[in-house]
Amino acid sequence: SYVMTQAPSMSVAPGQTATLTCGGIDIDSKSVHWYQQKAGAAPILVIFNDDERPAGIPDRFSGSNSWNAASLTISRVEPGDEADYYCQVWDTATGHRVFGGGTKLTV
């Protein structure tokens, strides 16, 4: 099954920009989705189809996808952005949906 790699952790100061990456072979040929999961809560979708934001998600969250890595960028990071972030794709070869291992963002 398709494998995606995320850094286990990242630390950023409030007000700075955090860029989280998700690596995978030919990932730019896939639609990448990103989820935010705060402690004790269910995940929520923050970016879908590489760079689209669901209603209600601040425009501080943006996404991109090129070559062998997709990225989630959080601008003007706030303490409330502290969470685990997961990337996810649909592996069309198997029909499986696949998650990356997640990145714990500390603010």
Give me the residues that bind another protein (CB under 8 A), please: 1, 31, 33, 35, 37, 41-45, 48-49, 52, 54, 84, 86, 88-90, 94-102
Q: What's the Cα-to-Cα distance from 59 to each of 22, 48, 64, rounded to whole Å? A: 20, 13, 14
Q: Tokens 């760079």 map to which residue?
A: 51
Question: Could you tell me the smallest distance in angstroms from the CB atom of residue 75 to another protein?
Answer: 22
Question: Could you tell me the smallest distance in angstroms from the CB atom of residue 25 to another protein?
Answer: 18
Question: Could you tell me the smallest distance in angstroms from the CB atom of residue 9 to another protein?
Answer: 13
Q: How far apart are CA 1 and CA 46, in angstroms?
A: 24
Q: Which is nearer to another protein, 12 or 57 (CB)?
A: 57
Q: Output the six-digit token pair for 11.
A: 């630390």
Q: How far apart are CA 84 and CA 64, in angstroms?
A: 19
Nearest to 46 by CA among 14, 20, 11: 20
Question: Could you tell me the smallest distance in angstroms from the CB atom of residue 13 to another protein?
Answer: 25
Q: Which is nearer to another protein, 65 or 74 (CB)?
A: 65
Q: Which is nearer to another protein, 73 or 101 (CB)?
A: 101
Q: Which is nearer to another protein, 24 or 100 (CB)?
A: 100
Q: Output the six-digit token pair for 97.
A: 């949906």
Q: Output the six-digit token pair for 22.
A: 């998700």
